[in-house]
């Protein structure tokens, strides 16, 4: 894609991930373009979550994970040239299950900035409103910011988690099956915010829901058994996939 003159945000070369003896991802090369929504689909154990968690070095927290290869963020090696903490401020992550910390809505959102040393109350307050607006949650919670983040509905919790990630002002946002526990209405709101965020962020979405990939992805990649089978514009992947296995997966013949 960089041949088309677009800016490469994340450049992945020879990425391999294994847990103890089991290999999860084998030698992956992939460029992620600034401002795209890259959807990654594939059956379980295809390595898509391992790939996602390599991008913000969350894999390192797994005691037996081994990662090799290089990943460049804006040309900077994310392992050798920057710390995991500063990397994770630039590459935010949304998990499958929303996990609000046992804090107020406000303190959940300011958690990242506070850990980074931001103390000024006005800056933090502005961040709270801005992030909640961008996650389409402000109107629902603006009068109860001091309520526990764990006491709102599941759909609201996931948008709270999105707002919390946005408060980091990340360049890239990783979504790990963000809607797997949500009702269709909440899913729609999350997808709507993704399309809006695309204007200023680069998004990577791992999803088991192929329809979701088709709805929001600018490009889609199909992973199978630790390898990337195919990547291309979403429309092409869903209408004329080059590989038979991609087609089989999309039409639901396996996985």
Partner 1 sequence: MKREDKRQNIGFGALLAATLLVVIPVLAIVVLIVAKGWGALSWEFLFSMPRDGMRAGGIFPAIVGTIYLVFISLIFALPIGVMAAIYLSEYAKDNALTRVINLAIINLAGVSSVVFGLFGLSLFVVFLKFGVSIISGALTLGIMTLPVIITTTREALRSVPASYREVSFSLGASRWQTVRHAVLPRALSGILTGAILSVGRVAGETAPILFTVAAFYLPNLPTGLSDQAMALPYHLYVITTQIPGIPESFRYGTALVLIGFVLVMNIIATVIRSKAGKKR
Residues that bind partner 1 (CB under 8 A): 56, 58, 61, 63, 84-86, 88-89, 92-93, 95, 97, 99, 101-103, 111-112, 115-116, 148, 161, 164-165, 168
Give the C-alpha separation, 242 to 225, whole Å: 18
Beta carbon of residue 27, minimum distance to partner 1 (angstroms, whole number): 26
| Whether the Cβ atoms of residue 135 and residue 183 lie closer than 8 Å to each other | no
Q: Looking at beta carbons only, is 50 or 210 nearer to partner 1?
A: 50
Q: Which is nearer to partner 1, 51 or 238 (CB)?
A: 51
Q: First CA to last CA across the chain, in angstroms?
A: 29
In whole angstroms, what is the distance from residue 129 CA to residue 214 CA?
31
Nearest approach in angstroms of CB 112 to partner 1 is 4
Our CB check for partner 1 shows the closer of 95 and 138 to be 95
Per this entry, what is the length of the chain?
Answer: 255
Is the CB of 26 or the CB of 90 nearer to partner 1? 90
CB of 215 to partner 1, least distance (A): 25
What is the smallest separation between the CB atom of 58 and partner 1, expressed in angstroms?
6
Give the position of tokens 């992973």. 223
8 and 166 Cβ atoms separated by less than 8 Å: no
Name the residue nearer to partner 1 (CB basis): 115 or 251: 115
Q: Which is nearer to partner 1, 36 or 176 (CB)?
A: 176
């Amino acid at each position: 894609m960089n041949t088309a003159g677009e800016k490469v945000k994340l450049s992945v070369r020879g990425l391999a991930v294994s847990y103890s003896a089991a290999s999860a991802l084998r030698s992956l090369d992939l460029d992620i373009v600034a401002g795209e929504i890259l959807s990654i689909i594939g059956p379980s154990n295809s390595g898509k979550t391992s790939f996602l968690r390599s991008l913000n070095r969350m894999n390192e927290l797994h005691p037996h994970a081994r990662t090799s290869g290089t990943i460049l963020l804006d040309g900077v090696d994310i392992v050798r040239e920057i710390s995991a903490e500063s990397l994770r401020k630039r590459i935010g992550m949304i998990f499958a299950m929303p996990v609000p910390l046992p804090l107020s809505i406000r303190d959940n959102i300011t958690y990242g900035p506070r850990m980074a040393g931001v103390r000024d109350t006005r800056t933090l307050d502005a961040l709270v409103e801005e992030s909640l607006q961008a996650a389409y949650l402000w109107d629902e919670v603006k009068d109860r910011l001091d309520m526990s983040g764990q006491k709102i509905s599941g759909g609201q919790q996931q948008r709270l988690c999105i707002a919390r990630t946005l408060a980091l002002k990340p360049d890239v946002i990783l979504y790990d099956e963000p809607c797997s526990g949500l009702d269709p209405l909440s899913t729609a709101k999350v997808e709507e915010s993704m399309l809006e965020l695309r204007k200023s962020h680069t998004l990577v979405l791992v999803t088991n829901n192929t329809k979701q990939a088709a709805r929001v992805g600018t490009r889609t990649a199909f992973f199978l058994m630790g390898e990337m089978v195919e990547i291309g514009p979403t429309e092409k992947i869903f209408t004329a996939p080059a590989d038979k296995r991609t087609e089989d997966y999309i039409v639901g013949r396996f996985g």
